[in-house]
Structure 1
Amino acid sequence: MIRDSISMRFPQAFRQFSIVCRLCRIGFAVGILILGTFGLSHCHAAQPPITALTLSADQTTLVAGSQLGVHVISWPELERTPVRDVGFSQIHDLKFSPDGKQLLIVGGAAGEYGEWKLVSWPELEVIATRTSHSDVIYSATWLSDDQFVTGAADNDLIHWRLSGGEGKILRVVHGHSRRVLCVAAIGEQQLLVSAGIDQVLRVWSSEQGVLAEPPLRNLDNHTGAVCDLAVRPGEHAIPHLASASVDKTVRFWQPTIGRLLRFSRLPVEPSSIAWSLDGERLAIGCSDGKLRIVNPNTVENEQTLEGIEGWIFEVTAAVDGSFAVAGASGAIARVLPAKSRK
């Protein structure tokens, strides 16, 4: 999801930095039903790309974001309802609150402002909103039911607290030298990881209830912009994190101790990653429209599955082991991998 508008997260940024990750969203979609994949792809040749995607807690509704607004789609049937306009030109991330009762929508206008809106679920009624960053917001993550962090094209992170129907800034963190494209929270350790165009994963502490500067550590093994981060589900003595980069690698980390465990090299640029809910496999959405399934323990690419035609910009995992993928021309598909090999 890259956007310079790293537009959709990223068209212009893509062209400028050869970033095809969350940066560029073009192409067209067609119906798909191919060996190894169970799915239907909606064809919307004139539609803008899907640049944000998430599943509701009850696994019945897929919520997607594009330049048109918020799309509410039944899962797994993929039946669409009319698009809801949220009032800003770009949506780059959608995150349900930990209790599943509120939806955070972030985006804005490239080069002008970053904005977020908190809405009730499923009513989509506005609870709170703020225009904050000086450039578009690309990513957000919840720290608790009343706190979250946004990362934006102005290179900054902002730590927010919700109180009395308003969002209050706890701290603005200036740590990155270029656009922040992705943020992820490691809850029990009260840590935050952020990354973006400057290629560095930065690990931040929030033990005192607010993000602290400077970062605890910088992880700089990537040689290209980092376009997505995903914390591995499950019980682990030391938390695991995956990162995807336009250097055509996905890397597996133990960020709390600054350790790179291993990496998987890909034939094309990845743009979005999502863990299966059991944490046993990582799904990687790629620039060729395929979904690659990687074993995190061996870094073997176990499956390469058809997704959509054109860039995949978003991937999210479902409880039944399938994945929703979305991207170019508004295409959305359900992809069901074969059972993982132990």
Structure 2
Amino acid sequence: MNRFTTTTRFHRRIAQLPIVCRLRRSVVTAAMLMLATIGLPQSHGAEPPITALTISADDTTLVAGSQLGVHVISWPDLTPALVRDVGFPQIHDLKISPNGRQLLIVGGAAAEYGEWKLVSWPEFEVIATRTSHSDVIHSAAWLSDDLFVTGGADNDLIQWRLSDGEAEEVRVVRGHSRRVLCAESINEHNLVVSAGIDQVLRVWSGKQGILAEPPLRNLDNHTGAVCDLAVRPGGHAIPYLASASVDRTVRFWQPTIGRLVRFARLPVEPGSIAWSRDGERLAVGCSDGKLRIINPNTVEIEQTLDGIESWIYEVTAAGDGSFAVAGAGGSIARVIAAEPPK
């Protein structure tokens, strides 16, 4: 299935559905899930999929990206507010800066160019924009409020520095043999981790503020393309990183020491992952429209929740413990997971 073009029909609904929780001792319990879904309007034909998603720092606004532009939606009621055109046809990642004042939008046109645009948040005034990669940009990661990296289908990572509204290309890093689909920063250790079609997680040093080649280490346990990465929140002496792959596994790593800690097997392909804000569980959006909640300590799937009708491409966590999921057909849902067992 093409992750970026699958569509389904427009719909908007509010429903109450039971959750079946598969807990550690196979105890089955039931709760009520409030599922609110929206379909984003399009005037010509079927709705394009949502391919980027994030929540504002104050948890009042959901920001989604599709071929129609950037959608600003109130959270948690999922009321659409406005749509902003960004000037390029595909949006693949949205990242709010650490200080919460800037929104980085990345994408471009497949097989033609990669482009990013930085706007003030929430004013949406353009700060800087560049056409950079020779193919579409799939992912971005902030290293600080004035440093970020972009990873694209041209196999490259590019590091950028902002100064007085200008963007400087600091370094082009080459190491992947095929397109980069995801990148994450571990800022307290000055590291960037990237992965993609070549199945390998590459860990890059960013000491002195500049990415260095070659990578510090390559983590090559996956047997399929790596579609998403997520750093575990919270204070950990050794940082944890989760990776999701089309090999139907989610793997948990300690990338600073190159250790694979454990892994979970899934019944279907994952599309996106997101940690709860407290770092106690990992949400996995899957190709069957379900959101699966994994306990990172036992790697058990503790809950399987209804999300949207088809492939989930994006997941993001909210401060109240719920998750936003989005994907095919322009559908977005708020999913409320049951509290983890004590």
TM-score with structure 2 length normalisation?
Answer: 0.92
Asked whether the 8 Å contact 2:10–2:47 carries over to 1, the reply is no
Give the superposition deviation at 1:177: 0.2
The structure with the largest strand share of the pair is: 2
| Rounded Cα–Cα distance in structure 2 between residues aligned with 1:28 and 1:132 | 35
2:81 is paired with a residue whose SS is coil
Q: Which amino acid aligns with 1:172?
A: V
Letter in 2 for 1:310: S
What SS does the aligned partner of 1:134 have?
coil
Counterpart of 1:151 in structure 2 is: 151
- For the 8 Å contact 1:91–1:105, the answer to whether it is kept is yes
Alignment correspondent of 2:133? 133
Identify the residue that residue 249 of structure 2 maps to in structure 1. 249
- 1:41 paired residue among 37, 41, 45: 37
Find the counterpart in structure 2 of residue 25 from structure 1. Answer: 6
Residue 85 of structure 1: how far off its partner (Å): 0.6
Query: Contact 2:5–2:48 at 8 Å: present in 1 too?
Result: no
Aligned position for 2:238: 238
Which runs of 4 or more aligned residues in structure 1 lie more than 4 Å from their structure 2 counterparts after TM superposition? none
CA RMSD in angstroms, aligned pairs only: 1.2
Which residue of the partner structure matches residue 224 of structure 1? 224
What residue identity is the alignment partner of 1:25? T
Question: Structure 1 residues 32-41 or 85-94, which shifts more?
Answer: 32-41
What SS class does the counterpart of residue 339 from structure 2 fall into?
coil
| AA at the equivalent of 2:171 | R
| CA distances 1:181-209 after superposition (whole Å, capped 9, x unpaired) | 00000010000000000000000000121
CA distance in 1, matches of 2:307, 2:10: 10
SS at 1:171 equivalent: strand
* Matched ranges for 1:70-109 at <5 A: 70-109=70-109
Aligned twin of 1:167: 167
Which aligned pairs between 1:254-265 and structure 2 lie closer than 5 A?
254-265=254-265
What is the distance in 1 between the residues matched to 2:59 and 2:277? 12
Report how far residue 96 of structure 1 moved. Answer: 0.3
Which residue is equivalent to 1:318? 318
Cα distance, 1:29 vs structure 2: 5.6
**Could you tell me how far 1:42 is from its partner in structure 2?**
1.4
Equivalent position of 1:274 in the other structure: 274
Work out whether residues 32 and 307 of structure 1, in 8 Å CA contact, stay in contact via their aligned partners in 2: no
Number of matched pairs = 323
Higher alpha-carbon Rg: 2
Does residue 1:51 correspond to 2:51, yes or no?
yes
Which residue in 1 is equivalent to 2:23?
none
Query: Is it true that 1:213 corresponds to 2:218 in the alignment?
Result: no
Contact persistence 1:29–1:308 (CA under 8 A)? no
For the Cα contact (< 8 Å) 2:242–2:250, is it kept in 1?
yes
Aligned partner of 1:189: which letter? Answer: H
Cα 1:236–1:24, aligned 2, differ >3 Å: closer, same or farther?
Answer: farther
Matching residue's letter, 2:39: C
CA spacing shift, 1:256–1:24, aligned 2, 3 Å? farther
> Which residue is equivalent to 1:6?
none
Question: How far 1:38 sits from its partner (Å)?
Answer: 1.6
C-alpha separation in 2, matches of 1:246 and 1:263? 14
User: 1 CA distance for matches of 2:153 and 2:67?
Assistant: 17
Give the share of equivalent positions with the same residue, in percent: 75
Q: 2 CA distance for matches of 1:24 and 1:143?
A: 30
Question: Is the aligned partner of 1:340 residue 2:340?
Answer: yes
Contact conserved, 1:40 with 1:333, CA < 8 A, in 2?
yes
The C-alpha deviation readout for 1:287-331, integer Å capped at 9, x for no partner, is 000000000000010000000001111000001000000111110
User: Structure 2 counterpart of 1:35, which letter?
Assistant: P
Amino acid at match of 1:223: T
Q: Which residue of 2 aligns with 1:299?
A: 299
Contact 1:25–1:313 (CA under 8 A) maintained in structure 2: no
What are the superposed Cα offsets for residues 10-44 of structure 1, whole Å, 9 maximum, x if unpaired? xxxx55xxxxxx55533346435221332211135
Corresponding residue number in structure 2 for 1:9: none
SS at match of 2:8: coil
Alignment CA distance shift 1:298-1:28 (3 Å): farther
Give me the whole-angstrom Cα distance separating, in 2, the residues matched to 1:178 and 1:25: 23
Q: Check the 8 A contact 1:29/1:41 in 2, yes or no.
A: no
Cα drift, residue 46 of structure 1:
2.1
Deviation at 1:211, TM superposition (A): 0.3
CA distance in 1, matches of 2:133, 2:117: 13
Aligned partners of 1:308 and 1:142: how far apart in 2?
29
Give the Cα–Cα distance (whole angstroms) in 2 for the partners of residues 229 and 142 of structure 1: 14
Q: Structure 2 stretches of 5 or more lacking a match?
A: 20-32
Return the alpha-carbon distance in structure 2 between the equivalents of residues 161 and 155 of structure 1. 20
Give 1:233's aligned amino acid. Answer: P
Q: Distance in 2 between matches of 1:23 and 1:195?
A: 18
